[in-house]
Structure 1
Amino acid sequence: MPLPAKAFQRWLHGIAPDTSIADVCRLSGVKRTTLAQQLVRGKVAESTVVSISRAFNVNPVTSLAYFETYRDLAGSQIPPSPRELVSQIATVDLLRAMIARSGNEPAPEASGARQAGLLALGPAAHATSVKNWVDAIDDGELRHRVSAATGIAPQNYSAQLTANRMAPEVAIATSRAAGVGLTGGLVATGLVTEAEAGWEPGSRQAALDMLSDGDLTVLAGDRLQALGKTLRRQEHDHQQTEKIWENLG
Structure 2
Amino acid sequence: MKLSRILSNCHNISRKQANALIASGQVIVDGQICTESGRDIARFSRVQINKQVVQAGEEAHYLMLNKPAGYLSATEDDAHTTVMDLIAPELHPGLHIAGRLDRASTGLLILTNDGNWSRRLTEPRIKIPKVYRVTTAEPVSPETAGRFAEGIWFDFEKLTTSPSKLEMLGQHEARVTIYEGRYHQVKRMFHAVGNRVTTLHRESMGAIRLDSGLAPGQYRRLSGEEIRSVQPTRPSQMSYS
**TM-score range for the pair, normalised by the shorter chain length:** under 0.3
Q: Tell me the TM-score normalised to structure 2 length.
A: 0.23
The structure richer in helix per residue is 1
Q: Which has the higher strand share?
A: 2
TM-score by length of 1: 0.23
